[in-house]
């Protein structure tokens, strides 16, 4: 008895060797085609590109540093055979668009803590952001000590948009708040940043495995944010009125370039003294970028001149300036 395949009819024909008569026709098992389709789908899935978007806000490099290093972790193989593409987008530049839309699989917000809450620009950005899919969303706060109730704050903003926070994490960084604190010693900064590198790798693994984190903020943290943040936000746009410019100013324009929200400009009037030509436009986010990076320490706020300045040593100032404009090498 011989067997042959009729490919046109997807049938198996069994013949009798002695009289060459066709004995019977048997159909191929239905699951053979189904299995082939399943294999095709698995191949398509393996070739699918997973898209992560990191939105960050940074004035002195800390949050940008975390965004940059986290992107490296997420862009490595995610263990599922899926290609991963991670984009870093500066909030300060993206918010200038009339419409802000994101169609990624994951969205990660990285930002410093101001007034026990999220920076005002980050809050405004989340409110305006249109999320086309149903992405997994993460909140990463960088701070010197207390983060307050920032993650619950972000979650509340997302729920107003019928989205929710998948997890919230905090990364301890050297404090940049020169109005109250001097920068740590150089050895302490290195120690903190080394710990940051370890923490970022941990967060990358947690995000890749889609870990959830429901207990994001303590009750005390939430109370701190509720009590302090509204007053901080209310006084924000008058904050820059207390900046003073000394005669040490040489009009280098570093403050103009480093400001992520374009809050500083130089008046085109050579009859004025240099220090009188620096104008703040009351859009300040209190990021400390200008006062921390002034090469002549000409920008003063209260007793800031007595304190040691800080800018993340693992980020070049020009790198952050370019990144905040959307020019990022990835």
**Statement to judge: residues 201 and 253 lie in one domain:** no
- Pull the structure tokens for residue 14: 């069994």
Extended strands (E) in 117-215: 129-131, 136-143, 165-172
Extended strands (E) in the chain: 2-6, 11-15, 22-27, 49-56, 83-90, 100-102, 106-112, 129-131, 136-143, 165-172, 244-245, 264-266, 278-280, 299-300
Q: Which of 170, 201, 233 is a domain's end point? A: 233
Please state, in angstroms and rounded to a whole number, the distance separating the CA atoms of residues 105 and 134: 8
Say if 330 falls within a structural domain: no
| pTM: predicted TM-score of the whole model, two decimal places | 0.83
Say if 291 falls within a structural domain: yes
Q: What is the pLDDT of residue 15?
A: 46
**Statement to judge: residues 74 and 220 lie in one domain:** yes
Q: Which of 182, 216, 233 is a domain's end point? A: 233
Please state, in angstroms and rounded to a whole number, the distance separating the CA atoms of residues 250 and 298: 9
Say if 322 falls within a structural domain: no
Say if 154 falls within a structural domain: yes
**Statement to judge: residues 220 and 190 lie in one domain:** yes
Residue 33: CA count within 13 A, CB half-sphere? 6
Q: What is the pLDDT of residue 218?
A: 78
**Statement to judge: residues 222 and 297 lie in one domain:** no
**Statement to judge: residues 72 and 103 lie in one domain:** yes
Q: What is the pLDDT along the chain (330 residues), one digit of tens a residue?
A: 554 544 444 444 444 444 444 445 444 455 677 777 666 655 555 445 678 999 999 999 999 999 999 999 998 755 555 667 999 999 999 999 999 999 999 999 999 999 999 999 999 999 999 999 899 999 999 999 888 899 999 999 999 999 999 999 999 999 999 999 999 999 999 999 999 999 999 999 999 999 888 656 778 888 888 888 999 999 998 999 999 999 999 999 999 999 999 999 999 999 999 889 999 999 999 999 999 999 999 999 999 999 999 999 999 999 999 999 999 876
Q: How many domains does the chain have?
A: 3
Please state, in angstroms and rounded to a whole number, the distance separating the CA atoms of residues 134 and 66: 25
Cα–Cα distances in angstroms (integers) from residue 181 to residues 57, 137, 176, 308, in the given order: 21, 33, 8, 8
**Statement to judge: residues 81 and 156 lie in one domain:** yes
Bin 301: left if φ > 0, else alpha if -120 < ψ < 50, else beta. Answer: beta
The C-alpha angle 57, 85, 190, rounded to 5 degrees, equals 50
**Statement to judge: residues 62 and 112 lie in one domain:** yes
Task: Please name the residues in contact with 159: beta carbons below 8 A apart, sequence gap of 6 or more.
Answer: none
**Statement to judge: residues 220 and 265 lie in one domain:** no
Say if 329 falls within a structural domain: no
**Statement to judge: residues 106 and 213 lie in one domain:** yes
Say if 218 falls within a structural domain: yes
User: Would you call 146 exposed, middle or buried from its count of C-beta atoms within 10 A (0-12, 13-18, 19+)?
Assistant: middle
**Statement to judge: residues 105 and 88 lie in one domain:** yes
Residue span of the structural domain in which 34 resides = 2-43
Say if 321 falls within a structural domain: no
Q: What is the pLDDT of residue 205?
A: 95
Please state, in angstroms and rounded to a whole number, the distance separating the CA atoms of residues 89 and 60: 16
Q: Which of 201, 233, 265 is a domain's end point? A: 233
**CB-based contact 174:100 (threshold 8 Å):** no
Say if 270 falls within a structural domain: yes
Chain centroid offset of residue 111 CA: 7
CATH of the domain at 263: 3.30.70.20
CATH of the domain at 116: 3.40.50.360
Q: What is the pLDDT of residue 225?
A: 86
**Statement to judge: residues 154 and 197 lie in one domain:** yes
Q: What is the pLDDT of residue 295?
A: 97
**Statement to judge: residues 225 and 256 lie in one domain:** no
């Amino acid at each position: 008895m011989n067997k042959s395949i009729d490919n046109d009819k997807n049938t198996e024909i069994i013949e009798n060797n002695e009289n060459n008569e066709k004995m019977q026709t048997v159909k191929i098992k239905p699951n053979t085609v189904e299995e082939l389709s399943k294999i095709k789908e698995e191949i398509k899935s393996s070739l699918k590109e997973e898209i992560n978007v990191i939105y960050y806000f940074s004035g002195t490099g800390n949050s940008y540093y975390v965004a940059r290093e986290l992107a490296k972790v997420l862009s490595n193989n995610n263990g599922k055979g899926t290609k991963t593409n991670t984009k870093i987008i500066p909030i300060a530049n993206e918010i200038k668009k009339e419409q802000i839309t994101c169609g990624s699989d994951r969205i990660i917000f990285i930002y410093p803590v101001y007034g026990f809450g999220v920076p005002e620009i980050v809050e405004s950005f989340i409110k305006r952001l249109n999320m086309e899919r149903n992405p997994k969303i993460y909140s990463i706060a960088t701070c010197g000590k207390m983060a307050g109730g920032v993650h619950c704050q972000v979650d509340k903003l997302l729920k107003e948009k019928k989205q929710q926070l998948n997890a919230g994490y905090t990364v301890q960084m050297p404090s940049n708040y020169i109005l109250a604190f001097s920068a740590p010693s150089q050895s302490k900064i290195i120690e903190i940043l080394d710990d940051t590198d370890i923490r970022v790798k941990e967060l990358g693994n947690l995000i890749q495995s889609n870990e959830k984190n429901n207990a994001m903020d303590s009750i005390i943290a939430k109370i701190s944010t509720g009590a302090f943040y509204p007053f901080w936000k209310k006084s924000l746009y008058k904050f820059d009125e207390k900046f003073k410019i000394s005669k040490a100013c040489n009009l280098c324009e570093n403050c103009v370039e480093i400001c992520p929200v374009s809050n500083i400009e130089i008046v085109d009037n050579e009859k004025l003294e240099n220090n009188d030509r620096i104008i703040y436009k009351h859009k300040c986010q209190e990021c400390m970028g200008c006062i921390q990076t002034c090469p002549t320490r000409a920008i003063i706020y209260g007793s800031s001149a007595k304190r040691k300045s800080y800018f993340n040593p693992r980020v070049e100032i020009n790198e952050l300036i370019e990144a905040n404009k959307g020019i990022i090498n990835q």
